[in-house]
A and B are shown apart, each in its own frame.
Chain A
Amino acid sequence: MSVVNYGTREITCKIVYYGPGRSGKTTNLQHVYSQLPEERKGKMVSLATETDRTLFFDFLPLDLGTISGFATRFQLYTVPGQVYYAATRKLVLQGVDGVVFVADSQSRQLAENIESLQDLHANLADEGFDPRTIPLVMQYNKRDLPAGEISSIEDLDETLNFRGVPHYAGSAITGKGVFETLRSISTLVLSRLSAPATKA
């Protein structure tokens, strides 16, 4: 999982937004995209059905320009949340450097969150990653909904965040917590930057 290439002076990080259907993964990417300065806006690829459900996946390339002499690119992906797109989720996870798990805060969605988290762990393991150590950040989304409809952050954290990774309250539709989450996962991923397999 080498993301820094000293030969081509490039740093590339692949971050995948994972979570149950309709939890707000695509909305996260859309907010990031909306905040990009014009000169950095690439193309956000989004394949959705007529009802806005992600059919395949979303892809947002973030060209951060040259940093410390390295052309730096972040690639943000989402997976389709619906259960029957298991193969696509596995495909998108290939070569991942970090994962944002976007949980739906609605109390009635708790089972879906758990199922999706288990699916993430199984797919990571299948792809050869250690689910216990891969950079992961939790985002508890939809905090803008009425208090009676959503679980508390503490409850969500206790149920979903058994690794004790950084977690953020979010409202992707308003942009709250979106960049905090992205900043957090980016820092985790970059802190694991590895050099190419060359002699020291």
Chain B
Amino acid sequence: MAKPAEEEEEGGEFADFLADVSKEIAQRVESLDPTPKAVAAAKLKTPVATEEKRKTPAVTDAGVIVEWPNIADRLIEEIR
């Protein structure tokens, strides 16, 4: 009955690590994000002009994924 606990413990090491990392990231991201509320708002009400750009597929170049819609949203928000 106690045997399966070994597997649980093994998974637990990573789970504990992930929990700690998540906590640290949550704290840091909140304090660093330049305009968290503005970005969130921009996501909620996407301007009409952005619609066409949203159709542009994500570009993969040398392992870097560029998410164009996110960038467009931020640019428009900053212009405002």
The distance in angstroms between the C-alpha atoms of A40 and B15, with both chains bound, is 12
A interface bracket (residues with beta carbon within 8 Å of B):
20 to 34
Q: State which of A11, A35, A68, A70 has its C-beta within 8 Å of the C-beta of B13.
A: A35
On whether the beta carbons of A67 and B32 are closer than 8 Å, the reply is no
Q: Do the beta carbons of A182 and B32 come within 8 Å of each other?
A: no
| Interchain nearest-CB distance for B76 vs A (Å) | 13
* The residue from A8, A69, A183, A200 contacting B29, defined by CB atoms under 8 A apart: A69
Kindly state whether residue A139 has any CB partner on chain B within 8 Å: no
Some 12 contacts from A to B, beta carbons below 8 A apart, are A6-B39, A7-B71, A7-B74, A32-B14, A35-B10, A64-B21, A182-B17, A183-B17, A183-B20, A186-B17, A191-B28, A193-B25
The B1-26 residues at the A interface (CB cut-off 8 A) are 10-11, 13-14, 16-18, 20-22, 24-26
Query: Given the complex, which residues of B lie within 8 Å of A175, measured CB to CB?
Result: 13
B17 and A7 form a contact (CB under 8 A): no
Q: How far is the CA of A194 from the CA of B70 in the complex (A)?
A: 19
Interface bin, chain B: 20 to 34
Q: Which residues of A contact B16 (CB under 8 A)?
A: 179, 183
- Assess whether B65 is interfacial by the CB under 8 Å rule: yes
**Interface members, chain A 35-77 (any B CB < 8 Å):** 35-37, 40, 64, 67-70, 72
Contact status A68-B70, CB under 8 Å:
no
Given A37-B11, A190-B28, A9–B34 Cβ distance below 8 Å?
Answer: no
Q: Lowest 3 A-B CB distances belong to which pairs? A: A190-B24, A195-B32, A193-B28
Q: Cβ of B22: which chain A residues have Cβ within 8 Å of it?
A: 64, 67-68
- The CA of A67 and the CA of B26, in the complex, are separated in Å by 7
Chain B: which residue is nearest A199 at the CB level? Answer: B34
User: Is A99 in contact with chain B by the CB < 8 A criterion?
Assistant: no
Whether a CB of chain A sits under 8 angstroms from the CB of B33 is: yes
A187 at the interface (CB under 8 A from B): yes
The residue that A70 contacts in the complex, of B18, B25, B34, with Cβ under 8 A, is: B25
Contacts of A187 in B (CB 8 A): 20-21, 24
Nearest B-chain residue to A34, judged by Cβ: B10
